[in-house]
């Protein structure tokens, strides 16, 4: 039988091979759609954020990764770290499929999504070993590291070798957190057509006791809950559960806010809403940092999309890190972390800009593909029925993405039907309760992404767009009436790479 040392060297040999492939593939990439200030893999494929943890002065971000190709294959864990949540440094691949519980089969296989924990000073990764067609197909596994870079798969793997019921639709994506002296794990699960968040507890991360489902779908929330993340937020026993539910298109992400009782391990829901209303926001994960902030990052793509960057030798980006807060009414608020302001360069500021009915108004020097915009419309001075802006406009006006607020409907739209390559589609979100008659939009434009925030963090819309790189125009509009931009701030954002 293979001993632990030879297993470890076999794992390290797979990692060395992956690193070689990455070096080669990164020099052969087409960089047209590479982003300026978002986390991306050095080359190859990336999906879910994994193992997010603040540790020894660094934010660690692991991710689902195929270093060999820009499509989903045998999943590795890529690894990056950051001191400020803005600048990312790539570290060696942390996990490669190497054992019978995470390698083999003809289809999906690998070290699937999971989380990280610091246990007795040891950085520990908790992940799903997935092998298509194997019985059981999904098990929960550990890997530990003394230096935060090289990881050893645990000899006790799999630490959870069976789902609660062998007849289920998914048992994966463990997220672990500590409450008092006990480790808690929430796992994504599907059974009888209902997505569920099931709970295990442990004293040592090795031996786990099943505690049942904290909460499950009411029949409208999908048949499998991928990548659950359950954490305290807002004080008392208030908690938030983030899920990526399967098979309730077009909805791809939800949060449930409510209370979690550590005695019974049951969650009682107060609110359920989308976390982000865009097309490209999936599998969010959070960490808590040294300032006590709850920070969320999501995969800024979606399964099944056209993904034009695949043909360029890479796929996948992470959203900007967003700080989460829970409002008294149970609504989740997300704001891009303030650290991002270090990227700000040239600043244009304007005020009291009148928008005529119809047409597009450009503002001197406000254009680009790497920008932050902060726009306040004074609705009390507006007679229009809709207002907004077009970004990434071509010179001839035929290609753009439009952000539009319909005032009577109280709905915010992002329309990328004429946005360029890739999928079209219109994202929409309800947006009432505007602060003192004003609509404030914060928009982050990067070379192939748009992230829009409104309603004091209640609404986020995240989409990938793939315009011609030359399309950098921006124009503002009002329709069926006039409108006024009270203030506008635009910053050029520098590249982190």
The one among 40, 131, 227, 490 contacting ligand FRU by CB under 6 A: 227
Residue 147: CB minimum distance to ligand FRU, A: 26
In the stretch 400-439, what mask flags binding to ligand FRU with x, by CB under 6 A?
----------------------------------------
- The smaller minimum CB distance to ligand FRU, of residues 107 and 338, is found at 107
140 binds ligand FRU (CB under 6 A): no
The one among 37, 43, 48, 457 contacting ligand FRU by CB under 6 A: 48
226 binds ligand FRU (CB under 6 A): yes
Q: Are 346 and 491 in contact (CB under 8 A)?
A: yes
The one among 11, 25, 36, 47 contacting ligand FRU by CB under 6 A: 47
Number of residues in contact with ligand FRU under rule CB under 6 A: 13
Residue 217: CB minimum distance to ligand FRU, A: 16
111 binds ligand FRU (CB under 6 A): no
Q: What are phi and psi of 443, to 5 degrees?
A: -130, 130
364 is catalytic: no
Q: Give the Cβ contact number of residue 135 at 10 Å.
A: 7
- The smaller minimum CB distance to ligand FRU, of residues 75 and 126, is found at 75
Residue 156: CB minimum distance to ligand FRU, A: 21
What count of Cα atoms within 13 Å lies in the side-chain half-sphere of residue 26?
13
Footprint of ligand FRU on 435-464 (CB under 6 A) = none
- The smaller minimum CB distance to ligand FRU, of residues 113 and 217, is found at 113
Alpha-carbon span 111 to 337, nearest angstrom: 30
Residue 303: CB minimum distance to ligand FRU, A: 6
Residue 162: CB minimum distance to ligand FRU, A: 17
301 binds ligand FRU (CB under 6 A): no
Residue 32: CB minimum distance to ligand FRU, A: 25
Residue 95: CB minimum distance to ligand FRU, A: 12
Footprint of ligand FRU on 168-197 (CB under 6 A) = 172-173
- The smaller minimum CB distance to ligand FRU, of residues 129 and 422, is found at 129
Residue 112: CB minimum distance to ligand FRU, A: 3
The one among 64, 109, 301, 449 contacting ligand FRU by CB under 6 A: 64
The one among 25, 109, 113, 163 contacting ligand FRU by CB under 6 A: 113
Residue 64: CB minimum distance to ligand FRU, A: 4
- The smaller minimum CB distance to ligand FRU, of residues 173 and 276, is found at 173
- The smaller minimum CB distance to ligand FRU, of residues 45 and 54, is found at 45
The one among 54, 63, 112, 453 contacting ligand FRU by CB under 6 A: 112
Alpha-carbon span 10 to 167, nearest angstrom: 33
Active-site option among 30, 48, 181, 223: 48
- The smaller minimum CB distance to ligand FRU, of residues 128 and 448, is found at 128
The one among 128, 157, 319, 449 contacting ligand FRU by CB under 6 A: 128
Footprint of ligand FRU on 70-109 (CB under 6 A) = 75
Label residues 393-426 b or e (16+ Cβ within 10 Å = b). Answer: bbeeeebbbbbbbbbeeeebbbbbebbbbbbeee
- The smaller minimum CB distance to ligand FRU, of residues 228 and 368, is found at 228
283 binds ligand FRU (CB under 6 A): yes
SS (H, E, C) the chain: CCCHHHHHHHHHHHHHHHHHHHHHHHHCCCCCCCCCCCCCCCCEEEEEEEEEEEECCEEEEEEEEECCCCCCCCEEEEEEEECCCCCCEEEEEEECCCCCCCCCCCCCEEEEEEEEEEECCEEEEEEEEEECCCCCCEEEEEEEECCCCCCEECCCCCCECCCCCCCCCCEEEEEEEEECCEEEEEEEEEECCEEEEEEEEECCCCCCEEEEEEEECCCCCCCCEEEEEEEECCCCCEEEEEEEECCCCCCCCEEEEEEEECCCCEEEEEEEECCCCCCCCEEEEEEECCCCCEEEEEECCCCCCCCHHHHHCEECCECCCEEEEECCCCCEEEEECHHHHHHEEEEEEEEEEEECECCCECCCCCCCCCEEEEEEEEHHHCCCCEEEEEEEECCCCCCCEEEEEECCCCEEEEECCCCCECCCCEEEEECCCCHHHEEEEEEEEECCEEEEEECCCCEEEEEECECCCCCCEEEEEEECCCEEEEEEEEEEECCCC
Alpha-carbon span 377 to 389, nearest angstrom: 11
- The smaller minimum CB distance to ligand FRU, of residues 113 and 140, is found at 113
* Contacts with ligand FRU, residue ranges (CB under 6 A): 47-48, 64, 75, 112-113, 128, 172-173, 226-227, 282-283
Q: Which residues are catalytic?
A: 48
């Amino acid at each position: 039988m293979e001993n632990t040392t030879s297993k470890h060297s076999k794992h390290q040999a797979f990692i060395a091979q992956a690193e070689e492939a990455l070096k080669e593939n990164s020099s052969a990439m087409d960089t047209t759609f590479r982003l300026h200030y978002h986390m991306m893999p050095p080359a190859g494929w990336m999906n879910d954020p994994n193992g997010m943890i603040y540790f020894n002065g660094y934010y660690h971000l692991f991710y689902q990764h195929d270093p060999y190709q820009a499509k989903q294959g045998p999943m590795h864990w890529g690894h990056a770290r950051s001191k400020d949540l803005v600048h990312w440094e790539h570290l060696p691949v942390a996990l490669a499929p190497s054992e019978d519980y995470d390698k083999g089969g003809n289809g999906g296989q690998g070290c699937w999504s999971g989380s990280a924990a610091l246990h007795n000073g040891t950085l520990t990764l908790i992940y799903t070993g997935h092998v298509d067609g194997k019985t059981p197909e999904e098990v929960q596994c550990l890997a530990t590291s003394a230096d935060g870079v090289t990881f050893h798969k645990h000899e006790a793997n799999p630490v959870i070798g069976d789902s609660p019921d062998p007849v289920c639709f998914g048992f994966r994506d463990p997220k672990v957190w500590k409450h008092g002296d006990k480790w808690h794990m929430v796992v994504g699960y599907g059974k009888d057509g209902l997505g569920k968040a099931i709970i295990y507890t442990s004293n040592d991360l090795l031996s786990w006791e099943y505690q049942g489902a904290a909460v499950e779908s009411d029949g409208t929330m999908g048949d499998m809950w991928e990548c659950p993340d359950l954490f305290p937020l807002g004080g008392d026993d208030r908690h938030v559960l983030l899920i990526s539910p399967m098979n309730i298109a077009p909805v791809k992400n939800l949060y449930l806010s409510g209370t979690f009782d550590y005695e019974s391990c049951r969650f009682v829901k107060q609110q359920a809403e989308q976390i982000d209303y865009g097309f490209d926001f999936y599998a969010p994960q959070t960490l808590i940092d040294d300032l006590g902030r709850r920070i969320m990052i999501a995969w800024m793509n979606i399964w099944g999309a056209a993904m034009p960057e695949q043909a360029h030798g890479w796929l996948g980006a992470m959203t900007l890190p967003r700080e989460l807060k829970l409002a008294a009414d149970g609504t989740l608020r997300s704001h891009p972390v303030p650290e991002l302001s270090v990227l700000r360069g040239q600043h244009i500021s304007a005020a009291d800009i009148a928008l005529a009915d119809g047409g597009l108004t450009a503002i001197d020097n406000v254009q680009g593909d790497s920008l932050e915009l902060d726009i306040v419309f004074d609705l009390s001075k507006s007679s229009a029925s809709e207002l907004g802006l077009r970004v990434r406009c071509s010179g001839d006006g035929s290609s753009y993405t439009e952000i539009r607020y319909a005032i009577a409907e109280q709905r915010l739209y992002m329309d990328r039907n004429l946005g360029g390559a890739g999928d079209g589609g219109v994202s929409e979100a309800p947006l009432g309760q505007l602060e003192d008659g004003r609509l404030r939009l914060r928009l982050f434009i990067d070379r192939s992404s748009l992230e829009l925030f409104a309603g004091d963090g209640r609404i986020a819309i995240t989409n990938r767009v793939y315009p011609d790189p030359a399309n950098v125009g921006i124009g503002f509009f009002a329709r069926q009436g006039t409108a006024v931009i009270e203030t506008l701030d635009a910053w050029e954002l520098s590249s982190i790479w």
